[in-house]
Structure 1
Amino acid sequence: MKIVAQVKLLPASAHDADALAATLRTCNRAANAASEVAFAKDLKRRNVLQDAVYHQVKADFDLGAQAAVRTISKVCDAYATFKANLKAGNYGPEGSKRRIKAESKPIRFREASAQPYDDRMLTWNLDQRTVSIWTVAGRLKGIPFVCSDEAMKLLASRKGESDLVMRDGMFFLVATIDVPEPPVCEPAGFLGVDLGIVNIATTSDGEIMSGRQVNRYRQRKRDLRTKLQKKRTKSTARVLKRQRRKESRWATQRNHIIAKKLVATAERTSRGIGLEDLTGIRQRVTAKKDQRARLSSWAFAQLGSFVRYKAQRAGVAVVHVDPRNTSRQCSNCWHTHRTNRVTQARFVCKSCGTTLHADHNGSRNIAHRADAAWQRGAVNRPSTA
C-alpha cells in the first residue's frame, strides 16, 4: 500500500526560499501552457503531449529537461483525475452547470500548486537530514528538513516521486512510500461504527466519541471569522491569515485520534470494522438553516479514509454497508419504524420495547450488516484458497 510522509524544509536564506517559490511559479505557468495545448488539441496522453510541447515548454520557461518532463506528466495526471471524477459523478449529476463549465475550459494550475520531483531532481541525505533540490536558480544543496520520527522511518524505504508544496510561505516535501501490506485477517465478528455530527463515532460496544468539543470549537472559529470580517482592517486581515487552516488541522488531528482508537480496538479483539457508506449524504439530506454549517463541515469522509488506511496497515477488514434505516431498525428484533427513534439520542422499539442510545442501536445494526456482508463475500475478504 502507498502512504505519504511529509517533511518541512528549512531554507537557510531568503535567496533559497525565493528560488523555491520561483520554481513553483515557473513550473505551474509552464503547466498552464501545456494544459492549453492538451485541451485545444485533445492530447491527454503523456507521450503524445510531450512530443507536442516539450521543446516549447523547455525553451519558453527555461526549465531543465527533467523538470519539463515532470511538468507535462503533471498535466496529464490532472486530466486523468478529472476524467475519473466525471465518471464517478463527483462533479454533480449529468448535465449540471458545474460539469458543463468544468468540461468547457482547460485545467488551470495555481502558481503555488505542488510540483512533482523525481530522483534526478531531488536527492535525500537522511543521515544529515538534508536534501539537494533543483530550482530555476540552480541546484540548492544541503537544505535541512525536519519531520517526525515515524516519517524518518518511512523515508528509509522511499522510492519514486516527491512533491514540493508551499503553504503559508513554508515549504514541504511530500514523499510517497510503498509499505508492505499485511494480509487481511479473518474477523471474529465486526465492530460497528455509527458516524454522526452530535457524536462523531459510536461503536457497537457502546463507546461514544462525542462531537461536542469539535462542534463548539468550529462554532467559536466561525464567530471569530464573522467578527473579524466585519471590521475590514489590515490588522484583522493579518489575524484571519494566521487563523487559516487552524480549524481544519485541529479537526484532522481529532479524526486521526478517533480512527487510531477504532482500529486498535478492532485489532485487539480480532474483529473487522463496519462503516456506513455515506456517499452523497449531503445531497440527500435537507438541513435547517442553523444546521447547514455543521453539516457542511462534517468530515465523515476524512474519518472514513483514516480508518481504512490504518486498518489496511493493521490487516483489519473494513466493510461498508447501506446506512438505510440503521437508526430506525431495532437491533434485537429487527422491527423497523420511524417512530422507534424517539429523539436524537433515544431509541425505543415499539415492538419489543428495547431501549438504547439511538447511535448505539445504529452501530449494532451496522455490525450485523457488516457481518452478513462478509459472509456473503465482501470485497476485501481474504482468499481461502
Structure 2
Amino acid sequence: MDFDLNESQSLLQDSIRKTLTAKYGFENRKAYMASETGWSREMWAQYAELGLLGLPFAEEDGGFGGGPEETMLVAEQMGRHITLEPWFSTVVLGGGFLRHGADTALRQEMVEGVAAGETLLAFAQTERQSRYDLFDVQTTAKKDGAGWVITGRKGMVLHGDTADHFFVTARVSGASRDKGGIGVFVVPATADGVSVRGFRTVDGQRAAEVDFTGARATHVLGDAEGGLPLVDRVVDEAIAVLAAEAIGAMDVVHAMTLDYMKTRQQFGRAIGSFQALQHKAADMLVAIEQSRSMAYFATMAAQGSDAAERRRNMHAVKAQIGRSQRLVGQQSIQLHGGIAMTMEYAAGHYFKRLTVNEAMFGDTDHHLRALADAGGLVQAA
C-alpha cells in the first residue's frame, strides 16, 4: 500500500508546519494560554485563511472537500505544537455531526461560518455518572410544540466556554443506560436556560460545565430517538484524529528527550552514553512507530460502513496508542529528571496533553476491555 503523500497533501502539510513553527513556539503558546479566551483568535483566523476550518466539508456546503487523510495531516501538526485553539471541538466533533447528521439546510447555514472562523461548535455529551459510556445519558429532551426543550447538565465540554452552538445528547425515552431513546440536538449558547462555567484543563485547553434548564433546541439531527449510531460514528472519527495528534506530540517529545540526553552531563559524560538509558529511548521509538501504523490504520478504518467492525477497530487503536502515549510520556519525564516537572520546560506540557489525549473518549483499559468483550480485533470464523 502506498503511504506517500500526493502533491496537494504535501503542500498542505508544509503550509501548516511553516505557520505553526513560525507562530506557535513554546513562549507563544504560554501567551495564548494566558489570554482571555485561553487560545489565539489571531491563529484561528490564520487557520481559516489556510482552509483548515473548512477542510473536511463538501464543496457544495461551503467547504474544501478534504478527506480523512488531509484531516490526519492537520491533526499531526497540531499535536506537534500542542495547540490550544478549538479546532478539534469545532471542525472534528461539531463538523462530524454536520457532515453525517445535519440536513442540507443546516449544513449550509453553519458550514460557511465554521470555514470562515466565525462559528464555534462544541459537543456536550459527558455527564457525572457516564464516565466513558456514550449511551449513559440522563439529560432529557421533551417535545414542546414543534420543537424540543433540553434539561440536564453536561461536564467536560471541550471549548464549551466559547462555543456558539452545542451538539447535545439528550434522552427522549428509556432508562439512563438504554442504548435507544437518545437524540442529538442543536442548542445555541445564547438560548434562554443555558448556563456555562468555563475552566482550564490540566493540559492548558479550555472546557466547561454547561447547564440546560428548559433550553430550546433549534434542530434535531435525524431520528430523535435513534441518535446513538450518529454519536458512535462521530466519536470513531474523532478517535482517529486523536491518534494522529498523539503521533505529532510523541515525535516532538522523543526528539526533545534525545537532545537532552546528548547534552545533560552526569559522571563526566553525557547521560545518552549510558546503555540503560539508550534502551529506554529505543523503547520510546518502537512505541511511536507502532502507534504511527495504528494511526494510519485508524484513518482508513474510521470511514468503514460496518459500525460494529469500525468500533472494534477504534477500540484497538485507542488501546495501542494509549499504551504508547503513556510509555513515551512517562519515559520522557524520567529521562529528563526534575526539569521536566517545571512549568518553564515544554516536556511536562507535552506529557499533560498526551495524558489527556489518552483519557478522551475512553482510556487504554476501557478500550482494551471493550475490545475483549467484542471478541477481539480479528473475529473468529
TM exceeding 0.5: no
Mark the structure with the bigger radius of gyration. 1
Higher relative contact order (CA 8 A, sep 6+): 1
Please give the TM-score of this superposition, normalised by the length of structure 2.
0.25
Please give the TM-score of this superposition, normalised by the length of structure 1.
0.25
